[in-house]
Chain A
Amino acid sequence: MPISHVVATALAAFLASAVEFVEAATVVLAVGGVRGWRDTLVGAAAAVGVLAALTAVLGPALTLIPLHALQVIVGALLLLFGLRWLRKAILRAAGVLAKHDETAAYAKEREAMLELGARGAGFDAVAFGAAFQICMIEGTEVVFIVIAVSAGGAGLLLPASAGAAVALVIVAALGFALHRPMAQVPENTLKFIVGVILSGFGAFWLGEGMGVAWPGEDLAILGLIAGFGAIALASVPACRARGLRAAGARA
């Protein structure tokens, strides 16, 4: 397996997971701050346990599927995932869509927890449930990303898992240290980069599964990432101008 694949896989898993973990951490911090930390953290840990077990089972199970079929299925899913993130990141960078606001999400979740009233003395099912749900939802995306970016070649599950695990440790450590949402994380920039990388991976694996002879063979993945990156960057000013024209026409 070329080192470029290993590094790109670990990087894609790290960046994509970091974005998802930051979103989950915002809710966990809001719930824990209002309802108390014990049951909130137990809920979050339970979700992480379920997701880790899911990855451990699903990852190796994918090796039972013929490689070309797996590359087509995973490549198509990765491509759809990557293009969706990239489109949204382009539109956010162009000012057409509002950027995700962690501070606002934190305030909204805190408000929702406060409206539920005081917690009882025993097990707090609300705190457990809220933390479990958000960690399962965001974590499912992480599991998909880890499995998908590593499904195209043998030996990639470990670097992908390591990338996600490092992201989890960093985001959790920052959450414990700051005790407030990580609003300074350049989420849209991360999503832009991840969208570019995943689109490149998706197109590459898909082509491999389809029997396409890529120019440069394995190095084509770097060309695809560079190509999607260049196209996406060039799209931002064009979308900004189109958005301004549309706004002007409505005014």
Chain B
Amino acid sequence: MGWIAGVAKEIWGLFVDDIGLAVASLVWVAIVWIAARWLGAAAGPALFAGLAVILVTSALRRAGQG
């Protein structure tokens, strides 16, 4: 059964390394989804811009920890 636990651990690890990155990304997606009707054509660029900021912030924060 060891390999089943290994596979389950790998599957979780596929998506989550930095919990802050994962949560922030999903929260931003939810915000854009809710605001999409008001954002109109800007929704797509807003989705990308927010995700890019979250990615860079997460990487910089980790780099600052050495």
Residues of chain B with a CB closer than 8 A to A245's CB: 64
Interface residues of A in 174-215 (CB under 8 A from B): 199, 203, 206-207, 210-215
By the criterion CB–CB under 8 Å, are A213 and B41 in contact?
yes
Main secondary structure of the interface of A (DSSP, over half): helix
Distance from A222 Cβ to chain B, minimum over Cβ atoms (Å): 13
| A144 in the interface (beta carbon within 8 A) | yes
Q: A239-B63, A246-B64 are in contact. Are A132 and B3 (CB under 8 A)?
A: yes
Q: Classify chain A's interface size.
A: 35 or more
Residues of chain B with a CB closer than 8 A to A240's CB: 63
By the criterion CB–CB under 8 Å, are A133 and B3 in contact?
yes
By the criterion CB–CB under 8 Å, are A207 and B43 in contact?
yes
By the criterion CB–CB under 8 Å, are A140 and B48 in contact?
no
Identify B25's interface contact among A80, A214, A224, A238, CB under 8 A. A80
Q: Which of A56-64, A98-106, A117-125, A227-235 contacts B (4 or more CB under 8 A)?
A: A227-235
Main secondary structure of the interface of B (DSSP, over half): helix
By the criterion CB–CB under 8 Å, are B60 and A87 in contact?
no
| A28 in the interface (beta carbon within 8 A) | no
By the criterion CB–CB under 8 Å, are A227 and B63 in contact?
no
In the bound complex, how far is the Cα of B42 from the Cα of A215, in angstroms? 9
By the criterion CB–CB under 8 Å, are A212 and B3 in contact?
no
In the bound complex, how far is the Cα of B62 from the Cα of A240, in angstroms? 11
| A136 in the interface (beta carbon within 8 A) | yes
Distance from A216 Cβ to chain B, minimum over Cβ atoms (Å): 9
Looking at B18, B51, B54, the one whose CB has the most chain A CB atoms below 10 A away is B51
Besides A87-B21, A231-B52, 5 other A-B contacts (C-beta < 8 A) = A80-B15, A210-B36, A215-B41, A231-B55, A235-B56
- Interface pairs A-B: 10 shortest CB-CB: A246-B66, A239-B63, A242-B63, A80-B15, A133-B3, A243-B63, A231-B52, A212-B43, A214-B44, A84-B17
